[in-house]
Structure 1
Amino acid sequence: MTRTPRFGWLSPAIGNRFSGRRPIVVDQDTAILPTALPHFDSLWLADHFYGMDTPTDPFMEAWTTLTWLAARHERVELCHHVLGVGYRYPPLLAKMAATLQHLSGGRFVLGIGAGWRADEYAAYGYDFPKPSVRFAQLEEAVTICRLMWTQDSPSYEGRYYRIDGAAAPPMPDPPPRVCIGAAGEKIGLPLVGRIADVWNAPPAREAADWDRRLGIVRRAAEGAGRDPDGIEVTVTLERALPESDDDSARLVDELSARHAQGADHFVMDFGNPASTEPVLRFAEQVIAPLRAG
């Protein structure tokens, strides 16, 4: 199934030397997002606690900041890029998601993954088990969320998590879709196919790599009795905004090719643009023609 391409804006939660140590998302909220978001379908925010290069660089907590953005920008879909499953206990995560879905008018997508940043886990005192365990925990967490979003008094006994009559009113209507960020071909991608509504994928350098990964997701979906076309495929791309017509044409060519290969939704990380002019260029010269087909 070919969908009209969708576009997401990833706003950096970090502050660094290039932003004067000010969290970029805070400045983008007033300087860039009011111009950008009318042209985009979704708004994304990474989930980390401190900087990548310098631990003292500020990094806004993802859930608090996305809730703040939800109140300030009323139309776009909202998704984390992506939450680490080990950072928030699943029943509380389910309650938080239900609340944000209610307050945002049904715009929230639960973006979540198995976590990868071992130093961050250790710094905050979280256990960081091997990947197979983290993905098993992720599957249990999604199961608990969906139970708590749809049942009045659900119970569940898993290997890693449990609930016993965990009511979470008001239950979200509709329940949030679940976006799983994963790339591993043995565990992560089959999990996406079995349980995700949305897959957030890293870009593949070669078309064959992309085709193989997408094939794993689709076969896992079919094996679980699901329609693989029901899984929205998002891909995150770090790119510079276009400064010329030629720049825009190159982006149209790249995104057209990725869309033909099965990417439905492009999550664009443009860093910290200095003005809205290239944002509008991207909207007019890239988004508009791609949506028009």
Structure 2
Amino acid sequence: MIDETVAEIEGMQTHSSSVVAVKAARALTELLEREYATVEEFVRDLERNSSVLRRANPSHASLFNVQHSITREVDEDEPEDVASAKAALADAIDRAVERVEDGKDRAASHTAETLEDGMTVLTHDYSSTVNAAIERAVEEGNELSVYVTEARPRLAGRKTARHLAGIDGVEPTLIVDSAAGNYLEECDCVLMGMDCLVGDTLYNRVGTYPIAATAADLDVPMRVTGSGAKLIDSGFVFENDYRPASEVLLEPAEGFAVENPLYDATPIRLLDAIITDDGAMAF
């Protein structure tokens, strides 16, 4: 399970960083089935596998936070034997998963409160928290129009558009990334998920920064939402992920280079609000 989860994270088959964090936490249950002679051997194996999972995507703060919390809680439990160490790990995994999922749920609820009937929203990429917030808003009787960027080159926005198309009360429109500025003047706000917030910088799917800058120029409120597990102050260094050129260009590049960064950096001064499980932080 651990090896398969690492491969999945490295291949970005799962687009939501919260889902990645939960999958990686649950992958550690594999250790509960292994045999260990001592507690020390168990703890070493836990730390090694947790490190492997963290390194599978060093750009995900939620992955870092969840893995760190699991290993810390097992260590703080000070188990006296392997059986109690395994019990401590099982409990730590359950708590970590609950924190992420509960955090997403509450963040979506707070975000839904900002969406009013008749609003037009622009979103970028795919965010399970954004989708949940929109679903909750229309369940309250609101109708929304949503412009969805394709989020090239992996086209995660198409997944968002298809999801929103299945929700009564939502009218989604898929647009190419470069057309965002053309439609922002029609929008009441921009609403996106977030990969992580480190200090005063938002790291999110590439294309977020130009949308945020354009929205600021047009006085369109820019809001991001996600679990508080994605906020981090120290101990974490963001590393961008540069994807294969083949995602951009199928044929070989001859005489030129192809760059395909997965994320970009947006200063929080361009944001109007960050909405987490603790509510909204306005700027």
Scaled to the shorter chain, the TM-score interval is: under 0.3
Name the larger-Rg structure.
2
TM-score (norm 1): 0.27
Which structure has the highest helix share of the two? 2
TM-score (norm 2): 0.27
